[in-house]
Amino acid sequence: MIDLHTHTVFSDGELIPAELIQRAKTAGYKAIAITDHVDHTNIEHVLKSLLGGVRDLCMVSSMDVIVGVEITHVPPPLISDLIKKARNLGAKLVVVHGETIVEPVEKGTNLAAIEGRCDILAHPGLITEEEVKLAADSGVYLEITTRSGHSLTNGHVAKLAKKYGAKLVINNDAHSPQDLIFVEKRKLIAMGAGLTYKDYIQIEHNSETILNNILNR
């Protein structure tokens, strides 16, 4: 398994990076991305802290750990520039916190994230058909999430992604140990969103592609 959306104590997660990595490894993950919540006030601190320490942990953990960010609750006009800044600061993966229906994310965030060409738009809620078309054209991946609450709109996201050819990934958005689910539950959540087993296999392949692209840069 590969999961490209997790959190540590550097934002609102419960675990320090070393424990997150160990728990993920024990649960059967072969790679994860640490994508703590950032805005303009903490992005430099988070990336500087993680980029230095995670490199050492990877050398002895026998699993790949990618340092990224999740741009969160940033006003839409500022998102594109912050995506660029994150990459300039060394983020290997840029996720944007989408317009989930369970948080007051500002309208226009989904569109700004796609136009800014983030890597993954997380739990994008009731994303519009035009936004899904743009994501497909722009190569932005849309997230099917296993996280409670955010997952309520998985079916909507999956349906439009299939209709317009947008690529999907499945992530757990882990904030605590119990969020690190096993592979069978990932399959069930994907299929519960109306996807086929073949779709699920393609989704896992998409995560492999993202990981390999990062590792081969």
C-alpha 2/C-alpha 29 separation (Å) is: 6
Cβ–Cβ < 8 Å for 36, 1: no
Question: Does residue 160 carry a pLDDT above 90?
Answer: yes
Top pLDDT among 60 and 195 is at 195
Specify the amino acid at residue 55: R
Q: Read off the pLDDT of residues 105-141 as tens digits, 9 standing for 90 and up.
A: 999 999 999 999 999 999 999 999 999 999 999 999 9
Specify the amino acid at residue 17: P
C-alpha 36/C-alpha 208 separation (Å) is: 21
Q: What is the pLDDT of residue 125?
A: 98
Q: What is the pLDDT of residue 143?
A: 98
Chain-centre distance for alpha carbon 32: 10
Per the prediction, the chain carries an average pLDDT of 96
Cβ–Cβ < 8 Å for 67, 56: no
Question: Does residue 187 carry a pLDDT above 80?
Answer: yes
Q: Read off the pLDDT of residues 57-89 as tens digits, 9 standing for 90 and up.
A: 877 778 899 999 999 999 999 999 999 999 999
The share of the chain scoring above pLDDT 70, in percent, equals: 100
Residue 174: Cβ within 10 Å count: 28
Give this prediction's pTM.
0.97
Q: What is the pLDDT of residue 217?
A: 86
Give the CA radius of gyration of the chain.
16
CATH class of the domain defined by 2-215: alpha beta
C-alpha 48/C-alpha 94 separation (Å) is: 15
- Helix boundaries (H) for the chain: 17-27, 43-61, 76-88, 109-115, 129-138, 154-164, 183-192, 197-215
Q: What is the pLDDT of residue 126?
A: 97
Q: 3-state DSSP call for residue 217?
A: coil
Q: Read off the pLDDT of residues 86-103 as tens digits, 9 standing for 90 and up.
A: 999 999 999 999 999 999
Segment 1-30 mean pLDDT: 95
C-alpha 170/C-alpha 46 separation (Å) is: 24
Question: Does residue 194 carry a pLDDT above 80?
Answer: yes
